[in-house]
Amino acid sequence: MASVTPSFLSALGIVSALGQGVDETSRTLFGNRPADMIAHDDFLIDDTTILGTVTGPILSLPENVRDYDTRNNRLLWTAVCQIRSEIDDMITTFGPDRVAIILGTSTSGIEEGTNDYQVMLNTNAWPDDFRYSHQEIGSPAEFLRAALGTSGPAYVISTACSSSGKAFSAARRLMDAGMCDAVIVGGVDSLCRLTVRGFNALNSVSDGVCNPLSKNRDGINIGEGCAVFTLRRDAGDIALMGVGETSDAHHPNAPHPDGIGAIAAMKSALNQADLTPDQICYINMHGTATELNDSMESTAISQIFGASVAVSSTKPLTGHTLGAAAAIEAAILWLSLHHADDGAPLARHHWDGEIDPDLAPLNVVTQDGQRSDPARQPENQIAMMSNSFAFGGSNVSVILGKRFGQGQTAS
């Protein structure tokens, strides 16, 4: 394969139902802090639903960018400010024109647009603070560019649940093409009635907390959150090793039952990372707890990896954060690798333990405190994969890795 220039995810800012920042998020994933999966009665008509909710304080936007004021952009700003010193260092080191911003989203400010439209229907006038641009998909990148004062490329990818995974691939392509030297990359989505009611109309929303891989599963929970990384070549010990992208275009909202696109995405990521399947020690599954996704994904993983690689779904802890999901689940890999001193801690699979016998067999992480298998960490290197499979057959698999004792390299 063609060599891939090493690139490193040197810092992480995160806010979600897992908590705020790397420490609180780690305590939820690997400790005993409960995730903020909360019942809401204001998103569905005459019904409640459990949503992955950001409950902690989120930051107001700086005064000079208040025209971009949406919950989505406030979530983004809260995560960005956690790593502001690293971002400022990139801007100082490379120059504002050499730092790009690539984000994924699917909601942007749609909830604010919905609220403003309701006011207009009731009063026949738009509210004074109405901005059509709030609900434009590109708003997060435009806002962040203005807030940080960068002048490099800045745009948003919106391919449903794969959006922020594809942002990693786009970010590295920009670096490889010489269009930038560093990238702020990630994804953000906020709760909105449009998406919650849309999934409910598809009979895809769980009555409780979602239950991936269980014979009793009944659908998803929607969530909100943001994960942003600094991607650069001159610093960091957690490498972006490979990103595999495919589009099987099987159906508008159902995956190919044989996992053709998912298999191709995982193989592409492995090839780009120059890894074999037995060198992946953990897979964070897309794991939505819908019958079609769980069946397809277990089949696809089993075909490539067999039943030995450790797997789990973390959506019972975050909800499905849609355009932010791939970035948040890449952040879960990052946090595992960040704590990988004696094997990496693995996020436990939260469910009722009643495996669906019709699924292909998998090695599900069921124990608190479980760590990665040393046999799958050859040559002082540890590597993990995260999958995101979206509506329309848009698929992405991301591999992150860490090398010990011999200097860092991306592949």
| Active centre residues (catalytic) | 161, 286, 320
Structure tokens, 145: 């560019």
- Rounded to 5°, the CA angle 147-149-154 comes to 85
CB-based contact 172:243 (threshold 8 Å): yes
Backbone phi, then psi, for 182, in 5-degree steps?
A: -160, 155
How many C-beta atoms lie closer than 10 Å to residue 179's C-beta?
13
Residues belonging to the chain: 411
Structure tokens at 257: 């039952």
In this structure, which amino acid lies at residue 317?
Answer: L
397, 243 Cβ separation under 8 angstroms: yes
Question: In the Cβ-directed half-sphere of 105, how many Cα atoms lie within 13 Å?
Answer: 32
Task: Give the Cα separation of 48 and 259 in Å (integer).
Answer: 33
The rounded distance, in Å, linking the Cα atoms of 58 and 280 is 36
